[in-house]
Amino acid sequence: MGKLILKDISTRAPKDFDKAATKEKTAKILEELDELQNLLYASSKYSVLVVIQGMDASGKDGTIRNVFGSMNPQGVTVASFKAPTPEELSHDFLWRIHKVAPAKGMIQLFNRSHYEDILVTRVHRWCDDKTAKKRMKAINDFEKLLKDHNNTHILKFYLHISPEEQQERLKERLADNTKQWKYNEKDFEEAKLWDKYMQYYEDCFEACNEVPWIVVPADQNWYKEYVIAKALRDLLKSLDMQFPGLKKG
């Protein structure tokens, strides 16, 4: 597989996908996921880490709410990663990540993730290329550790939104009083750095692909949610899981 070039990948659903039919499929998948997540939790043999990355307004929060919101909250947890605290900065960059890695039986969602430390940090030159390459190796080793030593299966999604759609959604946050709480004036400044973000995302996809990335067209929420729900459903169905029998003694 060659290097992923984001500008060559559509941000919209394939033309043969019908919105209403796809939403029906998603609803059925979510019903399956409810049962599969219950089985994952009860069997407590595997864990799942779901990494959700994307530019501002790409729909990370909505994905978490609409795809994972109907599952048993005892078995799904969410960690959101913003600017590191002074305590976090006094440790290695993976310290705050590793302590919220999923336990067996759990689905752990990362709203942004360890990848921020080779993305936003490079865009703003807080991290030089030499350090970024070391971090990429550490990330690969970390993900391998989770897979090899805790039966953790990892899904990594990049929500692929167009710059035009991003601008529309950022402006909507200003106009819609139910979304104004999300508004951050810095988002428009970050959007001006779009090309740099794309460059470093592409580097990230190339260097950290031992767990493959799924690039999700995200301009249409109904298609984005279908792709992510289907990927999770297919993963859980592939696992050798059974409900445990009666406990002895």
Residue 212, domain extent = 18-238
Q: Is the dihedral of CA 6, 218, 127, 125 positive or negative?
A: positive
- The model's pLDDT over 97-106, given as tens digits with 9 standing for 90+, comes to 999 999 999 9
- Is residue 29 included in any domain, yes or no? yes
Per-residue model confidence (pLDDT) at position 186: 87
How many whole angstroms separate alpha carbon 38 and alpha carbon 105? Answer: 9
Per-residue model confidence (pLDDT) at position 246: 84
- Cα–chain-centroid distance for residue 4? 17
How many whole angstroms separate alpha carbon 230 and alpha carbon 67? Answer: 10
- Calculate mean pLDDT across residues 78-89: 96
- Is residue 145 included in any domain, yes or no? yes
Is the pLDDT at 249 greater than 70, yes or no? no
Is the pLDDT at 184 greater than 90, yes or no? no
**The model's pTM:** 0.96
pLDDT band at 200 (very low <50, low <70, confident <90, very high): very high
Is the pLDDT at 245 greater than 90, yes or no? no
- Indicate the number of domains in the chain: 1
- The model's pLDDT over 224-238, given as tens digits with 9 standing for 90+, comes to 999 999 999 999 999
Is the pLDDT at 180 greater than 80, yes or no? yes
Is the pLDDT at 87 greater than 70, yes or no? yes
- Is residue 6 included in any domain, yes or no? no
Per-residue model confidence (pLDDT) at position 174: 87
- Is residue 243 included in any domain, yes or no? no
Residue 248 DSSP symbol: P
- Is residue 1 included in any domain, yes or no? no
- Is residue 3 included in any domain, yes or no? no
CATH of the domain at 51: 3.40.50.300
Per-residue model confidence (pLDDT) at position 1: 54
